Chains A and B, each alone.
Chain A
Amino acid sequence: MTFVLQRSIRAALTLWIVVTVVFTATRMSGDPTYHILPPNTPEVKREVLRHQLGLDRPLVTQYVDYLSGLADGDFGHSFFSGRMVTEMYLERLPATLNLALPSLLLAILIGLPIGTIAAVKPNSPVDRGLMALTFVGQAVPNFVLGIVFILLFSLTLRLLPSGGTGSWPHYILPVLTLGIASIASISRLTRSSLLDVLGQDYIRFVRAKGLPPSKVIIKHALRNALLPVLTVIGLQVGTLIGGAVVVEVVFAWPGAGRLLVAAVMQRDFPMLQFGVLAVAATVIIANVFVDVGCGLLDPRIQARAS
C-alpha cells in the first residue's frame, strides 16, 4: 500500500500549502480589529484586542502557533459570533452535503449513461441531441438556471417550493440546479473518454473474440474509460461545493456556502480561513479516494507508483 501512502503524503503537502497560503493571505490583508470592533473604538482597546488575538507577535510565531493550533483542532473563533468556527461550520455542513452529495450522485447516475449512450453511436441523432443538451447545461450559469427553475416550477407551475429546506420536494430544484453542470461535464467526458477507449487496439481484439457489444462496452471499454471520468468526478466534488455557494444563495438554502458568503461580507477571517481549509481538505481527500479508486481500476497505476 505504498501507493496509498504516497498519495496521502502528497495530499498532506498540498493541504499544508493551502494552509500556508491562506495564513499568509489573511495576515497580509490588514488589521482585522477594524472589522471586529464597533465604531470609533479607541486605539487602546484595539491594542488589547490585537494582543488577545495574538496579532502583535512576530509573524513566524503566529504561523507556528497557528499550525500547532490546527494540530489541536483549534481553528479559532468567529470574529462575529465568537463561537468556534469548526462548530459553526460543522453545523452547516450537513445542509451543504445534503445538496452536494445528491447532486454528485445525480451527475454520476445520469452523466455516465448519457455519455455512454452518446459514445456508442457517435454522430447519430441521439448523440448529437444529448451533446447539444449537455452543451447547454455547461454553458448556462447555475444561478441563471436556478432562477429560471424557480420562475417556472415555483411561481408559474406552483409545483415545487421556491427555496428553503423541509420535505423532499425542497431538494428537487437546488439539487438539479447544482447537478446539471456536473451531469454535463461527466457525460461529455464519459463520451470522449469512451470514444477514445473504443478506438483502442484491445477493443478491436475483444470484438474479434466475438464478445457482444454490451460486454465490449461495459466490461472492457467502460472500465478503462472510467479512469479519467473518476478523476473528473473527484474534481466535481470541489466544483459542487463551490457551486453550492451560489445555489444556496439562490434557493435560500442554509448551508455552509452561505455561511462563507456571510463571512466574506463581514470579513470574518477565521470563519473564511476554516471554510477554505475545510473545503480544500474535502477536495484533497476526495481526490485521494479517487486516485486510490483509479489504482484499483487500473493495476498499472499502482505498479507505476511502487
Chain B
Amino acid sequence: MLRPIRFAMLAAGMCLASVQFAVAEDLIVGMQEVRPLFDPAIETGNTGIPLSNAIFDTLIRRDFQADGKGTGGELVPALAESWRRVDDHTLEVKLRAGSTFHNGDPLTSKDVKFTFDRILDPKSQYGRSQFQYENIARVETPDDLTVRIVTKKPDPTIEMMLTFPASSIVPKDYFEKVGFDAFGQKPIGAGPYRFVQSIDDDRVILEAFPQYWQGKPPADKLVFREIPDLSARITALANGEVGIINNVTPDQIPAIETLGCCDVRSVMANSQVLNYRTSNPVMADKRFRQGLNLAIDRELLSKALWNGKAEVLHSHQYAEWGDLYNAERPKFAYDPERARELIAQSGYKGEEIDFITSPVYYTNGLAAAEAIVSMWQKIGVNAKVQVNENFYEISNDDPGIEVRNLSDWADLPDPNVTIMWSWTTTALWDGNEAFQELGRKAATTLDKKERFSLYQKVLDNFEDQAPGTVLYRVPDFYGVRHDIKWQPYTNYVMDFRPGNFAVGAGQ
C-alpha cells in the first residue's frame, strides 16, 4: 500500500533531496554504534575497528582485497617497509622512513616500542588486550627506523599480530603528554584520517590527513554517524544523508535494493558461536552438549535468516588459514534423533536452560536464539530465551544453566586466534585443560605440518567436548550508494584509504 505512493513521492523529491544532504568529497557513514573512545587497544570490538582503522595505521597490514572478496590474508607492508625473522624468537621490522603522525611528529621506533609497552604494562588499563600480546618478551629499538620484537616462545603468528587493530602505532610523546584518558578522547595516529571532533552518541568527525604515506586520502571529511536503528540507517541512506551504512540484515537487502540509489555489498565475516556454561551439573555432561549441537539445523537457519548466505563450516575452520585449513573435515551435523538419544543418556530432567542473548549486538542474534531454542524444545529441552542488554555482563560468575551466543575471534587468519582465543578467553567452559595444552603447544610451533596436525587434534577435542558450537560463518552487509566505489573487508574493517574508496568513479 505504501509502496506506490512512496515511489511517486520519491521521483518528485529525489533530485532535490540528494543534493541537499551530501557533498561529493565528504563521506558520512551510518553506523549502528559509534564508541566515544578511540584508543585502538581499548576499542577492539567491531564498533571500534572501523575508527581505529581510519585514524591509525599498523606496521603490517592484511591485504584484504587480495582474494577479491575482502577476506584476503596476505600480509603487506604498511608503516613497516619490510620485516624478517632474525631467529625463532625475534622479528625485525624496518620502518617506513618519513611517515608522520597527525600532529607532525615523525614516527620512529620509540613510538612502536611505546605502543606495545603501554599495553604490556601490567598496571595499565589494557587488561582486555594484554593476553593477545603475552608472548612478547620485549621490544627493542636498535635505531630510529628499526624495531625488534622478541617473543618469549617461538611464535608463528607474530607478523599477523602486528596487523591487529590493537597493534596500531600511537605517538609516544603525545600520549605521554596528555595521558591515557585524554588520548582516548583526542587520539592522534598515523592513519589516513585525523580526528576532528566526537559528539557522543551522535558522530565522529575525521578529516583527510594530507601527509599520509599512501598519499592524500580520498575523502576530505569522513564522518561516522551513529544511527542505532536499522530502519533509520536505511532511511538516512535513502535520504542521501549518509553514503554507506553498516550492519544491514539479510532481510533488508531487498528494501535497499529497491531504493534505486543504493546497493548492498557484503563480505564474509566471523562465525557466530554458542557457548555453554559447563560449570553446572546439567551442562557438565558432554553428551548433553553434543545433543544440543546436533539438534541445531544450521542449514535451515542459514536459509531462513540469512537468505542462505551464511556458510555452514567444515568444523571450526576458515579457508583463509591456507595450509592449516583441512577441507576434508565434515560440516557440523544436524541429527535430531541422535540428539534426543544423547540428551536422554545425559540424564537431563527438564531443567530450564537459559539462552542469554543481547537483543541487538549480533545480526540475527536474537532471531537465531529464538529459532534455536525452539529447535531444542522440539527434542525436549526446556530452553528459554533471556534477553540481556548488557554485553559486559556476559561473563560474570553467575553459575546459571545457560547458553550464550557470541562470535569467534577471526581477527587474524590463524587457528590460534580463531579457536584458541575464542574458547579460552571468553568461554564459559570449565575443565578444558587438554584443549588448552594442545593449543599452547600449537601456538609455539613454527613447523607448519606439525601445527596442522596439532590443530586437527584441537578440533577433535572441541567437537567431542562440545563446549559450544559454531553456527555458521556470517556475511556482513553494507548499504552503499551506487556512486561510491568501496569494498567491505572481513571483520568489520572499513577501509577508506586510497585504493578502496572513491566517489563517483566507475560505478
Q: So, do A and B actually touch in the complex, CB under 8 Å?
A: yes
Instruction: Mark A residues whose CB is within 8 Å of B.
Output: 34-35, 38-40, 81-83, 88, 91-92, 95, 150-151, 154-159, 161-165, 249-255, 258-259, 262, 264-267
Closest Cβ neighbor of A162 among chain B residues: B235
- Interchain CB contact under 8 A, A254 and B200: yes
Among A83, A164, A262, the most chain B Cβ lie within 10 Å of the Cβ of A164
- Interchain CB contact under 8 A, A157 and B9: yes
Instruction: Mark B residues whose CB is within 8 Å of A.
Output: 2, 5-6, 9-10, 13-14, 16-17, 21, 36-37, 127-128, 181, 199-203, 225-229, 231-232, 235-236, 238-241, 389-390, 392-397, 426
- Interchain CB contact under 8 A, B17 and A40: no
- Interchain CB contact under 8 A, A265 and B426: no
Closest Cβ neighbor of B21 among chain A residues: A161
Closest Cβ neighbor of B128 among chain A residues: A38
In the complex the two chains form, what is the Cα distance from A150 to B227 in whole Å? 13
30 A–B contacts from the bound complex (CB under 8 Å):
A34-B396, A38-B392, A39-B396, A39-B397, A40-B395, A95-B202, A150-B235, A154-B238, A156-B9, A156-B10, A157-B13, A158-B240, A159-B17, A161-B236, A161-B239, A162-B236, A162-B241, A163-B227, A164-B227, A164-B236, A249-B228, A251-B232, A252-B227, A252-B228, A254-B226, A259-B201, A262-B201, A264-B389, A265-B390, A266-B390
Which residues of chain B are within 8 angstroms of A259 by Cβ–Cβ distance?
200-201
Among B127, B241, B395, contact of A164 (Cβ-Cβ < 8 Å): B241
In the complex the two chains form, what is the Cα distance from A40 to B231 in whole Å? 37
Among A39, A91, A251, A264, contact of B200 (Cβ-Cβ < 8 Å): A91
Among B229, B238, B396, B397, contact of A158 (Cβ-Cβ < 8 Å): B238
Among B181, B228, B232, B392, contact of A162 (Cβ-Cβ < 8 Å): B232
- Can you name 8 extra interface pairs (CB under 8 A) apart from A151-B235, A163-B232, A164-B236? A34-B396, A38-B395, A39-B396, A154-B235, A154-B236, A158-B14, A164-B225, A249-B228
Which residues of chain A are within 8 angstroms of B37 by Cβ–Cβ distance?
81
5 closest residue pairs by CB, A with B: A39-B395, A254-B202, A158-B17, A158-B13, A254-B201
- Interchain CB contact under 8 A, B238 and A252: no
- Interchain CB contact under 8 A, B238 and A163: no
Closest Cβ neighbor of A152 among chain B residues: B9
- Interchain CB contact under 8 A, A35 and B392: yes
- Interchain CB contact under 8 A, B201 and A258: yes
In the complex the two chains form, what is the Cα distance from A252 to B10 in whole Å? 23
- Interchain CB contact under 8 A, B202 and A252: yes
In the complex the two chains form, what is the Cα distance from A163 to B230 in whole Å? 12
In the complex the two chains form, what is the Cα distance from A158 to B6 in whole Å? 10
Which residues of chain A are within 8 angstroms of B389 by Cβ–Cβ distance?
264-265
In the complex the two chains form, what is the Cα distance from A158 to B241 in whole Å? 10
- Interchain CB contact under 8 A, A158 and B200: no
In the complex the two chains form, what is the Cα distance from A170 to B115 in whole Å? 41
In the complex the two chains form, what is the Cα distance from A169 to B148 in whole Å? 55
Which residues of chain A are within 8 angstroms of B202 by Cβ–Cβ distance?
95, 164-165, 252-254
Which residues of chain B are within 8 angstroms of A155 by Cβ–Cβ distance?
6, 235, 238-239
- Interchain CB contact under 8 A, B127 and A252: no
Instruction: Known A156-B2, A158-B14; judge A35-B393 contact (CB<8 A).
Output: yes
In the complex the two chains form, what is the Cα distance from A112 to B181 in whole Å? 49
Q: How far is the CB of A235 from chain B (nearest CB, A)?
A: 27
Among A162, A265, A266, contact of B239 (Cβ-Cβ < 8 Å): A162
In the complex the two chains form, what is the Cα distance from A155 to B241 in whole Å? 11
In the complex the two chains form, what is the Cα distance from A164 to B201 in whole Å? 9
Which residues of chain A are within 8 angstroms of B17 by Cβ–Cβ distance?
158-159
Q: How far is the CB of B451 from chain A (nearest CB, A)?
A: 29
- Interchain CB contact under 8 A, A158 and B239: yes
Which residues of chain B are within 8 angstroms of A165 by Cβ–Cβ distance?
199, 202-203
Closest Cβ neighbor of B3 among chain A residues: A156
In the complex the two chains form, what is the Cα distance from A155 to B199 in whole Å? 25
Which residues of chain B are within 8 angstroms of A251 by Cβ–Cβ distance?
232
In the complex the two chains form, what is the Cα distance from A35 to B241 in whole Å? 37
Which residues of chain B are within 8 angstroms of A88 by Cβ–Cβ distance?
200
Among A34, A156, A162, A265, contact of B6 (Cβ-Cβ < 8 Å): A156
Among A82, A156, A157, A266, contact of B181 (Cβ-Cβ < 8 Å): A82
Q: How far is the CB of B365 from chain A (nearest CB, A)?
A: 16
Closest Cβ neighbor of A258 among chain B residues: B201
- Interchain CB contact under 8 A, B9 and A252: no
Q: How far is the CB of A158 from chain B (nearest CB, A)?
A: 4
Q: How far is the CB of B484 from chain A (nearest CB, A)?
A: 19
In the complex the two chains form, what is the Cα distance from A258 to B238 in whole Å? 25
Closest Cβ neighbor of B127 among chain A residues: A38
Which residues of chain A are within 8 angstroms of B395 by Cβ–Cβ distance?
38-40
Which residues of chain B are within 8 angstroms of A253 by Cβ–Cβ distance?
202
In the complex the two chains form, what is the Cα distance from A35 to B14 in whole Å? 48
Which residues of chain B are within 8 angstroms of A34 by Cβ–Cβ distance?
393, 396
In the complex the two chains form, what is the Cα distance from A35 to B394 in whole Å? 10
